[in-house]
Structure 1
């Protein structure tokens, strides 16, 4: 009887141990900052799709790609882009058991790509470093205060990182001194493999706008073939650093050629194609969500006023009130 009891106890311990390694996927949305505060009405649609995480995105602004000073947390900004808004959003979402990633972002005037931020002198690089440190450490303190589950140290800043790698490595140490949760960086899809500080972070963050199909309406089969060019490299990268991959942004526009250059937000791409959006999203879910080396991700993007967002005539990224929303709901329910 003692032998049977001990075997039973051993089985129970092993079972509990194995269970502890199973982690819930991050089924997230990129929650867009607005002019207004949010309430339960704005959160209910997130609960309806079974989202368990939201990325909250305060903004800093730069006048041009070579300008070194970041303006942030000013009265001229929208409520959700400032500290007061971040705290209100987080407090409201956490009441409904939605976890938080705080993901501060830079906006360059006229919407120029942040990856191109580059200074023309050593003096300006120093000013930019000082300005960015103030910006990111301010929100790292907020993340610690509100007990955010994840903090993102930057988004798509490849040229800044390429030119100043030592600054970034030292900055992450400073952030660790302020914020005690999990860290990631949102690398652009064609940047992550040369980002030099993954060993200092907890997740390998990728904004997953990988090209997967040149077809006008990408088929499921074409998209699956398209991922063969990228997925093995992503998996190998996870294994190299022994860290989970997190899609800090993922999604497709509801337009023709949605899988060709998924990062494009050009207004001249305006032919609505809902099937293109659902097919590309379906394959992304099928290829990644069951992988043990994949942590999950954040749909780009989700607006607070659900009833007035997206819709069958909308050609933008948001899945709201489109067929792909039901697909996300089904996936997140799993």
Structure 2
């Protein structure tokens, strides 16, 4: 009798960790290109051991104070449109890769979207109506493809801070259309002030936190640099009791890549492949072991794998660099 009880207790003990653990999002941010994609483009994602991709249709604004968002037109690249999103998702889902739909805004000349701000109530109303049309288009598409996650916005700090009631209402409207999980991609210095984390499923952070002023910081130095930021992340996580998702993360393969990791507009700088490897290893060490951490999406993965990255490339992509080999190892764990 005692043996039988011990046997069932052992079974229960073995079962509990499996039921309590959630598989991490080992994701890649997949470029919205001018082309359709097929297995030749998805194979590299599979080889990287990724189980998620972020697919990113785009809307466009002329200026930071312009309220009208243009989207889903025949003048855009295919991957930036609804048709492109549906086609990309179908190809990835054939191979059991999960999808986050992450519609994004591009401001002409690459101005920072966090500074989008209207100068009158009339223009704010136009922006709200335009943004609703934009995001609800992709909420419907996300439901159509049964996407696992929908990101309701990316780095829209002034819009989010100035119009909180609009965002509360928008989330309710999205919930009527889309039945999956919701997140918002807050910039690394914005996430502490977002008011609606309690209304969505993941606290989303674009995790470009400054970690080190060193030319080529070691993994240990980077982990020390993470300490104050991780405390802030944990504070917000505990406040809302929601899992944290790094909606974007990554490092350029360049000297001083952890000083201002968000900087993407400067092409110059000495190639430093090890600095990129160290950055990815440190962030994985600090977060992937945490139960409250859902995972994240590496920035950025291009569809023509054989034509991008490489040992002379100092940009964000890990493709055809030592960083890709590291990702394969970390994501396989």
Distance in 2, matches of 1:179 and 1:331, equals 32
Gaps of 5+ in 1: none
Distance in 1, matches of 2:268 and 2:229, equals 25
Q: Does 1:68 align with 2:67?
A: yes
Aligned counterpart, 1:24? 23
Distance in 2, matches of 1:16 and 1:126, equals 52
Aligned counterpart, 1:94? 93
- Tell me by how many angstroms 1:11 deviates: 4.3
Aligned counterpart, 2:329? 330
1:220-235 to structure 2, matched below 5 A, reads 220-235=219-234
1:65-144 to structure 2, matched below 5 A, reads 65-144=64-143
Q: Does 1:188 align with 2:187?
A: yes
Deviates more, 1:74-83 or 1:18-27: 18-27
Distance in 1, matches of 2:12 and 2:226, equals 39
Distance in 2, matches of 1:137 and 1:332, equals 32
Q: Does 1:153 align with 2:152?
A: yes
1:6-25 to structure 2, matched below 5 A, reads 6=5, 8-13=7-12, 15-25=14-24
Q: Does 1:252 align with 2:251?
A: yes
Secondary structure, aligned partner of 2:228? coil
- Tell me by how many angstroms 1:106 deviates: 0.1
Q: Do the aligned residues in 1 keep the contact of 2:34 with 2:77 (CA within 8 Å)?
A: yes
Distance in 2, matches of 1:62 and 1:117, equals 9
Distance in 2, matches of 1:31 and 1:266, equals 19
Secondary structure, aligned partner of 1:106? strand
Distance in 2, matches of 1:287 and 1:110, equals 35
Distance in 2, matches of 1:18 and 1:288, equals 18
Distance in 2, matches of 1:300 and 1:141, equals 25
Q: Deviations over 1:260-310 (max 9, x none)?
A: 000001225332111211111111111111111111000000001000011
Q: Deviations over 1:153-210 (max 9, x none)?
A: 0000000011101000110010011000000000000000000000001110000000
- Tell me by how many angstroms 1:218 deviates: 1.5
Distance in 2, matches of 1:225 and 1:37, equals 43
Distance in 2, matches of 1:326 and 1:28, equals 15
Secondary structure, aligned partner of 2:173? helix
Q: What is the TM-score normalised by the length of structure 2?
A: 0.97
Q: Deviations over 1:106-146 (max 9, x none)?
A: 00000000000000100000000000000000100000010
- Tell me by how many angstroms 1:21 deviates: 1.2
Distance in 2, matches of 1:268 and 1:297, equals 25
Q: Do the aligned residues in 1 keep the contact of 2:29 with 2:55 (CA within 8 Å)?
A: yes
Aligned counterpart, 2:177? 178
Distance in 2, matches of 1:219 and 1:14, equals 39
Distance in 2, matches of 1:228 and 1:6, equals 45
Distance in 1, matches of 2:239 and 2:94, equals 38
Distance in 2, matches of 1:289 and 1:14, equals 23
Distance in 2, matches of 1:58 and 1:217, equals 34
- Tell me by how many angstroms 1:9 deviates: 3.6
- Tell me by how many angstroms 1:17 deviates: 4.0
Q: Does 1:239 align with 2:249?
A: no
Distance in 1, matches of 2:322 and 2:12, equals 44
Secondary structure, aligned partner of 2:152? strand
Secondary structure, aligned partner of 2:41? helix
Q: Do the aligned residues in 1 keep the contact of 2:115 with 2:157 (CA within 8 Å)?
A: yes
